């Protein structure tokens, strides 16, 4: 009996030892509490960090809103394809107050590591506040703030940025330190830019602007000209696709531009353009029905004198018997003067007024020059007939060529994209363009013409060259203004491209490659538009032609 009881007790003890539920439940309960506590800690941390991220994001938005409201915000300027040309963004400038620096030697070492290209030694031992970095990046700002030096001072500002740097400098213009427009479109449309959130949309094409500028920069290397300018315009509606003046400047540097070499040669510079005016002379003759392309001029002299001043042919090989058409193709001075005589002072004056040469042009930039010519007279009529004694702007020349080539319709050059175009009024006889454009084509396409280097296959280029001596005190210097006004396609004009080189020089080492299959030529000594500006224009059209043909 006793044995049975002992055996039963032993089994109960083993059973309780192997299956102890109370202890297991307690352990499980403790484990769950620990996990819940840890999860709660992580949850709180996540909320804190999330809140911080949201707070920082809100602070950034508040900062931007605060800064953009604090100063005069300017809306963006974009090109016809939507590319940003000018934009206002909030920025932070970081500076140092030397009086608050505790350890200047240590801070100098740190600054050298953060800004290796800058030297702050003299400034940090001074007493005046100075900037360490304007428009500092967020990454660099964080590194500066981590130093914990109270000498650093943050300045919250807004900045006007120009993604293309120099590319549109004369078109866009500049703003001052108070964010006010002081030149270019920034000045003309200062009110609109500071009162509206809508961007101003231009007619210019950034890709075309870049390609033309590149060719003008190359021309400086070849012909050593001091400056240049080019305008590409839609001949029918006045939209300017490109306007360039060199030298230009980087708008982002905000430098004061006082040197006259940075004048806007496309709109502000006033020049005698020479023989490009001969186109206007024959156009006036056709318009007033006193001259036709086939009108003959017999026994033209090589030299005539007016008021004691001699007028000579630039080339003695020009024949003495020419038609009006041949006079323009060969660019005869004496023949052009005789055509001007037939037109007369009153008609020629009226004609130049009509096409915008003698009237102040209304334009989107304030930097626009005015035509200079003095008083009309018999000798003035003769000299203007072949392009001397009158100085105007490349913009007015471009407008004039548009009108005489587009069927005689009025056109107003513009940089601002218009919502709709009103039908232009015809201001010249339609016959002018019908009879003139084929002559302009022959100037480029025939061996007698002066612009063969612009005969780019597939684009039917027409145009007229102009070589003029630069006026100096008491007469003229040997320095030149070489110009070419191109119209294309000549059979149905869509574009006018006026290109001017300021003081180019003949390059005897340059190798000219003809487009008609002739062998290359080296050793040119002629400093005329046909050997300088026409070459550059041909290179330009070769580059931009595919874009114009496919997109415009």
Q: Give the C-alpha separation, 448 to 312, whole Å.
A: 19
Closest CA to 479 of 277, 272, 231, 260: 272
Answer for the pair 168, 174: CB distance below 8 angstroms, yes or no.
Answer: no
**pLDDT confidence of residue 36:** 60
**pLDDT confidence of residue 480:** 96
**pLDDT confidence of residue 45:** 62
38 pLDDT band, cuts 50/70/90, is low
| Cβ neighbours around 336 below 10 Å, total | 28
Token digits of residue 32 = 């769950």
Closest CA to 445 of 428, 462, 433, 420: 462
> Using one digit for the tens of pLDDT, what is the confidence trace for 190-237?
999 999 999 999 999 999 999 999 999 999 999 999 999 999 999 999
* Exposure letters 519-533 (e unless 16+ CB within 10 A, then b): eeeeebeebbbbbbb
Kindly state the percentage of the chain with pLDDT values over 70. 87
* pLDDT higher than threshold 60 for residue 336: yes
* pLDDT higher than threshold 50 for residue 348: yes
Q: Give the C-alpha separation, 538 to 100, whole Å.
A: 63
Closest CA to 415 of 201, 250, 265, 162: 201
* pLDDT higher than threshold 60 for residue 29: no
**pLDDT confidence of residue 76:** 97
pLDDT (average), residues 241-247? 98
6 pLDDT band, cuts 50/70/90, is low
| Cβ neighbours around 11 below 10 Å, total | 10
SS3 41: helix
Write out the residue limits of the CATH 3.90.1310.10 domain(s) in the chain. Answer: 71-88+160-202
Burial of 291 (0-12, 13-18, 19+ CB in 10 A): buried
**pLDDT confidence of residue 401:** 98
Token digits of residue 261 = 């070499």
Write out the residue limits of the CATH 3.40.710.10 domain(s) in the chain. Answer: 208-551
56 pLDDT band, cuts 50/70/90, is very low
Answer for the pair 297, 327: CB distance below 8 angstroms, yes or no.
Answer: yes
| Cβ neighbours around 3 below 10 Å, total | 7
481 pLDDT band, cuts 50/70/90, is very high
Q: What is the CATH number of domain 71-88+160-202?
A: 3.90.1310.10
| Cβ neighbours around 500 below 10 Å, total | 31
**pLDDT confidence of residue 526:** 93
pLDDT (average), residues 146-165? 89
Q: Give the C-alpha separation, 127 to 99, whole Å.
A: 6
DSSP output for 191-248: HHHHH-SSPEEBS--HHHHHHHHHHHHHHHHHH--SEEEEEEEETTT-BEEEEEEES-
178 pLDDT band, cuts 50/70/90, is confident
Closest CA to 495 of 204, 207, 235: 235
* pLDDT higher than threshold 80 for residue 43: no
> What's the Cα-to-Cα distance from 442 to each of 2, 252, 337, 393, 515, rounded to whole Å?
139, 45, 21, 26, 15
**pLDDT confidence of residue 354:** 98
| Cβ neighbours around 479 below 10 Å, total | 16
**pLDDT confidence of residue 202:** 98
**pLDDT confidence of residue 307:** 84
* pLDDT higher than threshold 60 for residue 245: yes
Closest CA to 410 of 276, 289, 235: 235
**pLDDT confidence of residue 33:** 61
58 pLDDT band, cuts 50/70/90, is very low
Q: What is the mean pLDDT of the chain?
A: 88
> Using one digit for the tens of pLDDT, what is the confidence trace for 98-147?
999 888 899 898 899 999 989 998 898 988 999 999 888 889 899 888 88
**pLDDT confidence of residue 294:** 97
Burial of 290 (0-12, 13-18, 19+ CB in 10 A): middle
**pLDDT confidence of residue 17:** 46
pLDDT (average), residues 313-329? 92
Lowest mean pLDDT among 11-15, 440-444, 453-457: 11-15
Answer for the pair 498, 483: CB distance below 8 angstroms, yes or no.
Answer: yes
**pLDDT confidence of residue 62:** 44
* pLDDT higher than threshold 60 for residue 315: yes
> Using one digit for the tens of pLDDT, what is the confidence trace for 501-511?
999 999 999 99
**pLDDT confidence of residue 332:** 95
Fold that domain 208-551 belongs to in CATH? Beta-lactamase (3.40.710)
Q: Give the C-alpha separation, 326 to 52, whole Å.
A: 81
* pLDDT higher than threshold 70 for residue 439: yes
- The gap between the terminal CA atoms of the chain, to the nearest Å, is 118
Stated as kind and residue range, the H or E segment containing 341 is helix 333-343
> Using one digit for the tens of pLDDT, what is the confidence trace for 207-219?
999 999 999 999 9
């Amino acid at each position: 009996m006793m044995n049975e009881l002992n055996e039963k007790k032993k089994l109960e003890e083993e059973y309780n030892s192997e299956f102890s539920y109370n202890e297991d439940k307690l352990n499980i309960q403790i484990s769950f509490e620990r996990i819940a506590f840890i999860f709660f800690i992580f949850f709180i941390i996540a909320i804190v960090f999330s809140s911080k991220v949201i707070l920082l994001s809100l602070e950034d938005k508040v900062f931007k809103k605060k800064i953009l409201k604090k100063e005069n915000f300017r809306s963006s300027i974009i090109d016809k394809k939507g590319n940003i040309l000018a934009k206002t963004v909030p920025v932070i400038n970081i500076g140092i107050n030397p009086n608050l620096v505790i350890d200047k030697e240590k801070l100098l070492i740190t600054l050298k590591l953060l800004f290796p290209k800058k030297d702050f030694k003299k400034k940090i031992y001074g007493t005046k506040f100075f900037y360490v970095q304007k428009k500092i990046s967020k990454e660099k700002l964080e590194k500066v703030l981590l130093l914990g030096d109270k000498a650093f001072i943050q300045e919250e500002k807004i900045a006007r940025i120009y993604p293309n740097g120099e590319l549109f400098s004369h078109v866009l213009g500049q703003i001052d330190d108070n964010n006010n427009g002081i030149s270019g479109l920034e000045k003309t449309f200062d009110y609109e830019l500071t009162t509206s959130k809508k961007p101003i949309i231009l007619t210019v094409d950034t890709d075309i602007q870049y390609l033309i500028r590149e060719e003008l920069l190359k021309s400086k290397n070849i012909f050593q000209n001091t400056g240049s300018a080019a305008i590409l315009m839609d001949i029918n509606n006045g939209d300017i696709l490109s306007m360039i003046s060199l030298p230009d400047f980087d708008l982002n540097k905000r430098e004061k531009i006082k040197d006259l070499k940075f004048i806007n040669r496309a709109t502000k510079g006033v020049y005698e353009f020479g023989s490009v005016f001969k186109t206007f002379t024959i156009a006036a003759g056709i318009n007033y029905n006193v001259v036709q392309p086939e009108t003959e001029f017999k026994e033209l002299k090589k030299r005539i004198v007016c008021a004691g001043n001699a007028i000579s042919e630039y080339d003695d090989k020009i024949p003495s018997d020419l038609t009006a058409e041949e006079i323009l193709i060969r660019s005869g001075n004496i023949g052009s003067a005789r055509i001007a005589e037939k037109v007369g002072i009153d008609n020629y004056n009226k004609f130049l007024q009509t096409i915008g040469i003698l009237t102040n042009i209304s334009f989107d930039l304030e930097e626009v020059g005015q035509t200079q010519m003095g008083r009309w007279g018999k000798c003035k009529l003769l000299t203007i007939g072949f392009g001397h004694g009158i100085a105007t702007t490349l913009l007015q020349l471009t407008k004039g060529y548009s009108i005489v080539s587009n069927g005689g319709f009025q056109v107003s050059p513009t940089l601002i994209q218009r919502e709709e175009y009103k039908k232009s009024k015809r201001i010249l006889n339609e016959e002018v363009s019908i009879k003139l454009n084929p002559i302009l084509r022959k100037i480029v396409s025939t061996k007698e013409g002066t612009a063969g280097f612009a005969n780019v296959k597939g684009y039917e280029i027409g145009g007229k060259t102009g070589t003029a001596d630069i006026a100096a005190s008491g007469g003229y210097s040997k320095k030149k203004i070489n110009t070419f006004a191109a119209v294309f396609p000549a059979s149905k004009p869509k574009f006018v491209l006026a290109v001017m080189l300021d003081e180019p020089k003949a390059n005897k080492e340059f190798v000219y490659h003809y487009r008609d299959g002739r062998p290359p030529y080296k050793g040119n000594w002629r400093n005329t538009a046909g050997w300088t500006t026409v070459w550059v224009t041909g290179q330009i059209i070769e580059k931009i032609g595919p874009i114009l043909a496919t997109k415009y």
